[in-house]
């Protein structure tokens, strides 16, 4: 799946999803609210090889509205908290402070350990300090790439929905 991010202004961007089957979906978003969060989902999901979280659900054909509504309207809260998507959302939430230099990897992992224990869930084995450092480096590259995109320009990311071991690529196109 291709993820196209068009810089409209400092405040807004357009997110377009182009799935492997050719189907598309787009939305105009407030960059302050969504851009870093979506980048962090991308970094976590690609580094961990996740396929059933935010980007994976979109790659599999679910719409942006479906993904949002499935989390907001879930009737089985226990099943929801045990889903890959909910686990990823917790990790992304905890790592937001690390990425914004308001916390460190060890503290984020300790907080997630406590949360997961309280919910009687296992901490993902891939969630290590080394993993967090790789996510932090990928975020540095993504943010730097985004800063270099001119207004009206586009940044393209690739999200593999297959279980291959290839690394995702990021590139920007200027138009």
Residues 114-144 have pLDDT tens digits of: 999 998 999 999 999 999 999 999 999 999 9
Strand order in the sheet with 2-7: 24-30, 12-18, 2-7, 154-158, 170-173
| Pairwise pLDDT comparison (23 vs 77), residue with the higher score | 23
Q: Which value, in Å, is the radius of gyration of the alpha carbons in the chain?
A: 16
Q: What does the pLDDT read at residue 162?
A: 64
Task: Decide: residue 169, CB within 10 A, 0-12 exposed, 13-18 middle, 19+ buried.
Answer: exposed
- The three state secondary structure string of 43-59 is HHHHHHCCCCCHHHHHH
Strands 24-30 and 12-18: antiparallel
Q: Is the pLDDT of residue 164 over 60?
A: no
SS3 170: strand
pLDDT tens-place string over residues 137-151: 999 999 999 999 999
Q: Please report which confidence band the pLDDT of residue 56 belongs to, taking 50, 70 and 90 as the band edges.
A: very high
Q: What does the pLDDT read at residue 137?
A: 97
Q: What does the pLDDT read at residue 170?
A: 47
C-alpha 114/C-alpha 14 separation (Å) is 37
C-alpha 175/C-alpha 158 separation (Å) is 19
For residue 149, CA distances in Å to 30, 40, 105, 125 come to: 17, 18, 29, 36
Q: Cite the beta strand spans of the chain per DSSP E.
A: 2-7, 12-18, 24-30, 154-158, 170-173
Q: Is the pLDDT of residue 38 over 90?
A: yes
Are 39 and 140 contacting, i.e. CB atoms less than 8 angstroms apart?
Answer: no
SS3 173: strand
Q: Is the pLDDT of residue 97 over 50?
A: yes
């Amino acid at each position: 799946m291709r993820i196209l991010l068009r810089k409209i202004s400092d405040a807004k961007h357009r997110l377009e999803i182009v799935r492997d089957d050719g189907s598309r979906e787009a939305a105009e978003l407030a960059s302050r609210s969504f851009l870093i969060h979506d980048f962090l989902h991308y970094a976590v999901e690609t580094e961990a090889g996740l396929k059933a979280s935010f980007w994976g659900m979109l790659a599999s054909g679910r719409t942006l509205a479906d993904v949002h509504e499935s989390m907001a309207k879930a009737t089985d809260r226990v099943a929801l908290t045990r889903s890959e998507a909910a686990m990823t959302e917790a990790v992304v939430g905890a790592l937001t402070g690390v990425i914004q230099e308001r916390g460190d990897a060890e503290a984020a992992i300790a907080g997630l350990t406590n949360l997961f224990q309280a919910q009687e869930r296992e901490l993902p084995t891939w969630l290590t300090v080394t993993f967090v450092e790789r996510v932090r480096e990928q975020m540095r590259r993504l943010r730097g790439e985004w800063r270099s995109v001119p207004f009206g320009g586009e940044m393209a990311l690739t999200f593999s929905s297959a279980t291959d071991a290839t690394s995702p690529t990021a590139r920007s196109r200027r138009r």
